[in-house]
Amino acid sequence: MLTLMDKADPLSPLEVLQLAVDICGSQAEFARRIERTTQAVWTWMNREKQPPVEACPFIEDAMKDVRIICETLRPDYKGWEILRQSYRFGAAHSDDSQAADDVKGEEAKVTV
């Protein structure tokens, strides 16, 4: 039987963010993976102590680690399912745009 003493405290949002940076090896590599600036990451870690809500799906997607998910990065926000759907919808459409660009590029190669 588990008692409260046996259960580890969950990581704070800052600790989860630090874990993501540690996995990447540096703030610069973490920023590159999530397509943000190193200055933004520094601000999240040193001033805000958590990432902005809109960055969390990018962090979750880039890290692919069960400990680093939107809910642990920002436990105060409750609309993750809606935001994830919006994120995935946008990513799917950008993939479609890239695929269309690839097809146009292939057509150009054929006609040249």
Residue 6 lies in a domain: no
- Residue 41: pLDDT over 50: yes
Residue 1 lies in a domain: no
Look at residue 44 and tell me if it is in a domain: yes
Q: Give residue 81's domain range.
A: 13-111
Q: What would the mean pLDDT of 99-105 be, rounded to a whole number?
A: 43
Total domains present in the chain: 1
Number of Cβ within 10 Å of residue 28's Cβ equals 13
Asked if residue 77 belongs to a domain, the reply is yes
73 within domain boundaries: yes
Give the residue carrying structure tokens 């993976």: 33
pLDDT category, 35, cuts 50, 70, 90? very high
For the domain that residue 68 is a member of, what is the CATH number? 1.10.260.40
Q: pLDDT digits over 3-17, tens only?
A: 444 446 789 999 999
Does 8 reside within a domain?
no
Give the separation between CA 99 and CA 95, rounded to whole angstroms: 6
> What would the pLDDT profile of 55-94 be if each residue is shown by its tens digit?
999 999 999 999 999 999 999 999 998 887 877 766 654 5
72 domain residue, yes or no: yes
